Amino acid sequence: MKLQAELFVDSRCELGEGPFWHPLLGRLFWFDILNKTLLSANADGHIVDRITFKDTVSAAGVIDEHTLAVTQSGMLMRYDFRDDSHTPMLAVEADVPGNRTNDSRVDRAGGFWIGTMGRRAEMGVGAVWHYRHGVLNKIISGIRIPNSICFSPDGRTAYFTDSGKMIVKCTLDPETGMPIGEWEDFFTMEGPGGADGSVVDSEGFVWNARWGAGKAIRISPDGKLDKTVTVPGGVTRVSCPAFGGKGMKTLFLTTAREGFTPQEEIDQPTAGGVFAIELDVPGLPEPFFKP
Residue type, 30: W
The contacts of residue 46 (CB under 8 Å, 6+ apart) are none
- DSSP letters for 239-255: EEEEEESGGG-EEEEEE
Strand partners, 241: 253
Contact indicator for 156, 174 with CB cutoff of 8 Å: yes
173 is catalytic: no
Q: Please give the helix or strand (H or E) that residue 263 lies within, else none.
A: helix 262-267
3-class state of residue 33 by DSSP:
helix
Strand ordering across the sheet containing 112-118: 99-106, 112-118, 126-132, 135-143
Among 89, 105, 59, smallest CA distance to 288 is for 105
The b-or-e profile of 113-149 (16+ CB within 10 A means b, else e) is bbbbbbeeeeeebbbbbbbbeeeeeebbeebbbbbbb
DSSP state letter for 265: H
The span from the CA of 209 to the CA of 194, in Å, is 8
Q: Please give the helix or strand (H or E) that residue 266 lies within, else none.
A: helix 262-267
- Residue 44 buriedness (CB in 10 A; 0-12 / 13-18 / 19+): exposed
Catalytic residue, from 196, 222, 226, 280: name it.
196
- Cα-based torsion angle of the residue sequence 16, 285, 250, 15 in order, rounded to the nearest 10 degrees: 0
The span from the CA of 71 to the CA of 60, in Å, is 6
- Residues that are catalytic: 196
